[in-house]
Structures are given as structure tokens and as C-alpha cells.
Amino acid sequence: MNSIRLQKYASFIFAIFYFFKIRDGKVNCSCHQDINKDGYPLPMYFNYNINIKFLFDYFKAENMNQFIFYNILCILLGFLSIYIKIIKKGVTKIEKKSELRENLLSLNKMCAYWRFNYTFLTFLNYTIDYLLMLIVMTFNVYIFLSIMGGISIAYLFLGHKVMKY
């Protein structure tokens, strides 16, 4: 009985996949189907082009010096992302100690101060992480390796602090 049910589900899933993927011999859900505002297909593969748009239209790498600057910026952003995460863990540890004091001494100002710091660091961390995600979506090999290099360097130099907290 279970094999018949499995065959029905498998054929249903295959029919849905076939319906959405291929219609009239044309692929409908291709990653190259849409075009950007310049009229080119959206890239969904890595390339080695150094002429990139870096987050916004007015941040263009038009020569090698600008491209190297953007790679160094990606390394620094990757490092900063991990560094902020470590600082957040430290603030959490200090906040737990201050909560113990708050219960003993009723210091509400200190708790609010640490919560504000943690909220600000969280906002900054998510902002940098989303910027890094958008930068990686330029699908440039060198930019991708720069971001991964920055994150790796941060864990190389600050990894012991991650384990401490």
C-alpha cells in the first residue's frame, strides 16, 4: 500500500515540476530568463570581470585600482562582521553580570544601557551581513574570495575569543 502512495506522490511532484519548468518546449523558470535594467541577462554564475557595479550604480569599478580598493573593502567588511559578532557576545556576557547586580542593587539604567548597545550592535551586524550578501550576489570570483578571506582572517585572529565567550 505504501509503494502505491509513494508512486502517486512521485508522479504528482514530477507533474508539477514538468508543468512549471517546461511549457511549449521553452524553459520558464531559467535563471537567465529575466533581464536587468541595462537589457542584459541577470548573471547567476561566477565571472572574472573586473568592471563591476559595487552595491549601487555610482560605485563602479572601471579600472584595476578601483577594483583592488573594492576587494580590500570586502576583506575589511568580512573582518568587521565577525568582529561585531564577537563584541555582541562580550556585551551579552557583561549584561548577564549586570543583570545579577541589577537584581541585587536595582540598577535599571545600567541594564537599559547594555540593551541599547546590544540592539545597536545587532542592527550594525545585520546591516553588514546583508551588504556582504548583496556584494556576493555580483557573482564576481575575486569579490567572493575577498569576502571569504576577510571572514577567514577574522576567525584566524579572533577565533580564540569566539570560544572564550
What DSSP assignment string belongs to 1-57? -HHHHHHHHHHHHHHHHHHHHEETTEESS-TTSSB-TTSSBPP-S-B--S--B-SST
pLDDT interval class at 27 (50, 70, 90)? very low
Mean pLDDT calculated for residue range 44-59: 86
pLDDT interval class at 24 (50, 70, 90)? very low
Q: Quick one: which of 78, 61, 83 has its CA closest to 70? A: 61
pLDDT score recorded for residue 126: 97
Average pLDDT across the chain, whole number: 78
Question: Alpha-carbon distance 73 to 76, whole Å?
Answer: 5
Question: Alpha-carbon distance 18 to 108, whole Å?
Answer: 61
pLDDT interval class at 123 (50, 70, 90)? very high
pLDDT interval class at 145 (50, 70, 90)? very high
